[in-house]
Amino acid sequence: MNKFDDQSTKSLLERNLITGNQYQEITSYRNLNIFSLNAELKLFLYLSVLLFTSGIGILIYKNIDTIGHIAILSILLAVIAVCFYYCFKNSKGFQKSETTFEHPVLEYLVLLANILTCIFIGYLQFQYKPFGTHYGLATLIPTLVSFFCAYYFDNKSVLTIAVTGLAAYVGLSVTPQDLLNNNNFYADQSLSYSAIMLGGLLILWTIYSTKIQLKTHFNIIYLTFALHIISIAAISNLISDYTGTWPVFLGILAGSSYYFYKISHQLRAISLYVFMILYAYIGFNIVMFRLFESVDFSDIWMLFVLMMPAYFIGSIILFIKLIKNFNKETAE
């Protein structure tokens, strides 16, 4: 038993929140040094699903000419059918509140079946084009399947696939690196508005689902996607050449930061709080550089250079202080 746990237990005893016998039982149990392997086992299950699906992709790629398209699609369909049959048979059915499988392996079977469904539909469209030139349907259908599986089986991993598919359907790539490297944000400003609208719809859905108490534990996933999508779209346009519209995106970023500041405290979600601060800080610095574009620093260049280290050190100190205050406020 570590020193922190020992002190915490003693403080409970001193405040008469536990009895002496309870203190002895807690101390004896902790001295056994028993630890859970639950997280490690789930990690290995998750990796096994990723390795299995990756292996299938490599197998298809290397043996496409020898195995045949029909055979590959048939095998995929058979594996998908077996996985879904086993999951539906052992599930508790749809419930509005949070539910879990009796056995954690089933959760990863749902993930496996969902990923294979996406592979199956994508491969079918690529090879036989059943949707013709409507490639959006090849994205929309597995997205709808993912949403159904996420809510029916209460699976957060599948929900992330569903939201990613929804973003892809409207033409977005939802990882920060892809968004920042996506030239479409700079070439077509309408894509930025689409991203912001999608983020706004995700926020509205969390408000509605909270009102009807529908899988409220999913809200953190929706809000995380919304925060990244809205903030990165706004920042991308703050640094673009749309000089006439960048104040609009500044307002969007400011409004987004304020909302996620409030919701992060409400949900006690430090991940939302940290990223909100980072995006607001980046946006603030971009705006400052824009405002100083017309300023001649030739006379005060050395002063400006000397102030920069102090500015960044002060920013780091302020960031740490904000995190400490957040932890203190949410712990009360």
Domain-located, residue 57: yes
Q: 221 and 123 in one domain? A: no
Using 70 as the pLDDT threshold, list the residues of the chain that sit under it: 1-6, 17, 29, 32-40, 42, 63-66, 172-189, 241-244, 294-301, 332
Domain-located, residue 104: yes
Q: How far apart are CA 273 and CA 254, in angstroms?
A: 14
Q: 136 and 207 in one domain? A: no
Q: 132 and 195 in one domain? A: no
Structural domains in the chain (count)? 3
Q: 124 and 197 in one domain? A: no
Domain-located, residue 318: no
State how far Cα 16 lies from the chain centre: 42
Q: 203 and 105 in one domain? A: no
Among residues of the chain, what percentage have pLDDT more than 70? 82
Q: How far apart are CA 89 and CA 103, in angstroms?
A: 13
Q: 215 and 154 in one domain? A: no
Q: 72 and 150 in one domain? A: yes
Residue 188 is which amino acid? D
Q: 51 and 30 in one domain? A: no
How far, CA to CA in Å, does 216 sit from each of 44, 211, 256? 27, 9, 21
> The tokens of 106 are what?
């089933």
Q: How far apart are CA 166 and CA 144, in angstroms?
A: 9
Q: 191 and 261 in one domain? A: yes
- Report angle CA 134, 138, 144 to the nearest 5 degrees: 125
Q: 129 and 83 in one domain? A: yes
> The tokens of 36 are what?
């859970």
Q: 45 and 159 in one domain? A: yes
Domain-located, residue 134: yes
Domain-located, residue 216: yes
Domain-located, residue 313: no
Residue 95: which domain range? 41-169
Question: How confident is the model over 304-327, as pLDDT tens digits?
Answer: 777 888 888 898 899 999 988 888
Question: How confident is the model over 224-276, as pLDDT tens digits?
Answer: 999 999 998 888 888 875 556 788 888 999 999 999 999 999 998 999 999 99
Domain-located, residue 326: no
Which residue, chain included where needed, has tokens 């059915």? 93
